[in-house]
């Protein structure tokens, strides 16, 4: 298998075919040696085919909760397998693979009043969702960092602001520069921007998505023409309801609660898209999604998705939220999510391979703040787990409301410290470590006690 420029430091550019271009990003070159040059009509033709392949492979990235369809891979990082040829494109992915780890900035863009599908103006709004995605072919893994939209940052050339305004001020270019500067200079190879309208259509085309709505959600956002009215319980949500679930923020957790619900939706979407029954819906999905997406990904980059996606297992897909805290009521004029530099350094090191500029060391397990949630049929299980942890030397523990019953105990690395979570798992001798941020916000690790631990005791 031939590798093409696998070690090059590729920068973002907009010289490659894409379904819709809304910004201009500079690049030292407009082509990559060794890859075919496609005429515009051919590129559009292949875009549709490759999008189908991307959906079928489904590696689990998200485009503002849609990247489960696209794990993009930059030019210069692609290796083409000239020995693999088959008419069954669903299986071989046209012979393209990834040459090195790559980072993609994914943004879900707020509705822009008056902008119509396919109009460049659709992508000039604030980033309602911002995700940094890393595809690592060496580890066969995908890492996903959720960046709260209210994160306080220094936007280059603008000043202190919320990170969701960077796209408004300077498009994808400025958004990428801002994210890189905040996250220890992490390189960003490509971007994908998606209108929020896409998500609703996607879920409907998939026949709905099953999630647990934890509490009543009633709220109206007139500026975004969004009316939310959901009742609690495990249920299959339509596209409109899923958007309500993803965008609700009228509670004490605000934007951070939204990030957690978006991660829960992403899990449910991954399960849905990897189901073989989805394949008959793919043609309609392709037609519906094109007009909502702006990206500087090339056709060849999309083709490489298939090879990468088929290798990613459930345990190799990791999600985390940028660690931080809410700003105090009188701390700033606006409310912000204030990033925790130590937590940021730890996440960038463990998830993105970026060495910390500060001291982002793993937290000593004995100092962990642990939330305990009963997810078993034994009403005393959480209290028993707390007592057991105390015997092991973990004193900073507390109980939270019960969750829906589950068979297996799960340790959630809420603030991204997978090493500490694995150490705790070893000490317990039970449970599995889950790489996402759907636990209690105040915890370092949240333990959901399942029936397996109850039986063990």
| Mean pLDDT confidence for 133-154 | 88
> What pTM value is reported for the model?
0.72
CATH of domain 2-204+257-338: 3.30.420.590
The phi and psi torsions of 77 (rounded to 5 degrees) equal: -115, 5
Question: Which residues contact residue 51 at a Cβ distance below 8 angstroms, ignoring those fewer than 6 apart?
Answer: 69, 286, 289, 290, 302
Q: At what angle do helices 40-57 and 299-309 cross, to 10 degrees?
A: 20
| Intervals of CATH 3.30.70.2390 along the chain | 365-456
Answer yes or no: are the C-beta atoms of 60 and 71 closer than 8 Å: yes
How far apart CA 66 and CA 85 sit, in angstroms, is 30
Least confident of 23-32, 68-77, 145-154, 187-196: 23-32
| Mean pLDDT confidence for 374-397 | 94
Look at residue 367 and give its three-state secondary structure.
Answer: helix
Listed in sequence order, the DSSP H helices in 10-165 are 40-57, 89-92
| Intervals of CATH 3.30.420.590 along the chain | 2-204+257-338
Domain 365-456 belongs in CATH node 3.30.70.2390? yes
**Sequential DSSP letters for 87-108:** S-HHHHGGGEEE-S-EEEEEEE
State both tokens at 245.
Answer: 């679930």
CA atoms within 13 A on the CB side of 403: 24
Which class for 344: exposed (0-12), middle (13-18), buried (19 or more C-beta within 10 A)?
buried
Q: At what angle do helices 282-290 and 40-57 cross, to 10 degrees?
A: 130
What is the per-residue pLDDT for 206? 82
Q: Beta-carbon neighbour count of residue 31 at 10 Å?
A: 12
Percent of the chain surpassing pLDDT 70: 66
- pLDDT band, residue 281 (cuts 50/70/90): low
318-333 confidence digits (pLDDT tens)? 889 999 998 998 999 8
How far apart CA 398 and CA 382 sit, in angstroms, is 9
């Amino acid at each position: 298998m031939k590798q093409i420029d696998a070690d090059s430091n590729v920068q973002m550019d907009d010289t490659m075919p894409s379904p819709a271009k809304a910004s201009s990003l500079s690049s030292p070159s407009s082509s990559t040696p060794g890859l075919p040059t496609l005429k515009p009509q051919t590129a559009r033709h292949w875009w549709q085919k490759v999008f189908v392949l991307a959906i079928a492979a489904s590696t689990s990235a998200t485009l503002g909760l849609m990247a489960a369809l696209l794990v993009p891979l930059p030019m210069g990082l692609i290796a083409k397998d000239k020995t693999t040829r088959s008419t069954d494109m669903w299986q071989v992915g046209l012979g393209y693979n990834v040459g090195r780890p790559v980072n993609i900035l994914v943004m879900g863009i707020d509705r822009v009043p008056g902008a119509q599908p396919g109009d460049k103006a659709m992508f000039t709004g604030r980033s309602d969702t911002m995700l940094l995605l890393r595809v690592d072919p060496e580890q066969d893994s995908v890492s996903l960092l959720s960046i709260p939209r209210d994160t306080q940052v220094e936007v280059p050339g603008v000043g202190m602001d919320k990170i969701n305004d960077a796209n408004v001020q300077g498009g994808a270019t400025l958004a990428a520069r801002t994210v890189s500067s905040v996250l220890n200079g992490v390189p960003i190879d490509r971007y994908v921007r998606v209108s929020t309208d896409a998500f609703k259509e996607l879920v409907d085309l998939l026949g709905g998505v099953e999630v647990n709505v934890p509490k009543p959600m009633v709220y109206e956002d007139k500026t975004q023409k969004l009316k939310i009215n959901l009742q609690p319980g495990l249920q299959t949500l339509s596209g409109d309801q899923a958007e309500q679930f993803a965008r609700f923020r009228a509670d004490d957790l605000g934007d951070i609660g939204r990030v957690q619900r978006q991660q829960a939706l992403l899990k449910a979407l991954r399960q849905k898209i990897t189901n073989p029954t989805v394949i008959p819906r793919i043609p309609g999905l392709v037609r519906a999604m094109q007009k909502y997406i702006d990206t500087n990904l090339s056709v060849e980059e999309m083709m490489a998705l298939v090879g990468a996606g088929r290798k990613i297992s459930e345990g190799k897909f990791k999600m985390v939220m940028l660690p931080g805290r809410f700003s105090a009521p009188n701390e700033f004029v606006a409310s912000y999510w204030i990033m925790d530099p130590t937590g940021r350094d730890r996440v960038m090191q463990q998830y993105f391979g970026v060495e910390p500029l500060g001291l982002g060391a793993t937290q000593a397990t004995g100092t962990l703040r642990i939330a305990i949630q009963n997810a078993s049929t034994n009403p005393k299980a959480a209290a028993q787990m707390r007592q057991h942890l105390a015997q092991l030397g973990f004193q900073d523990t507390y109980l939270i409301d019960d969750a829906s019953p589950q068979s297996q105990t799960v340790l959630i690395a809420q603030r991204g410290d997978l090493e500490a979570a694995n150490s705790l798992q070893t000490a317990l001798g039970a449970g599995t470590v889950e790489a996402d941020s759907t636990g209690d916000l105040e915890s370092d690790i949240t333990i959901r006690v399942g029936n397996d631990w109850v039986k063990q005791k």
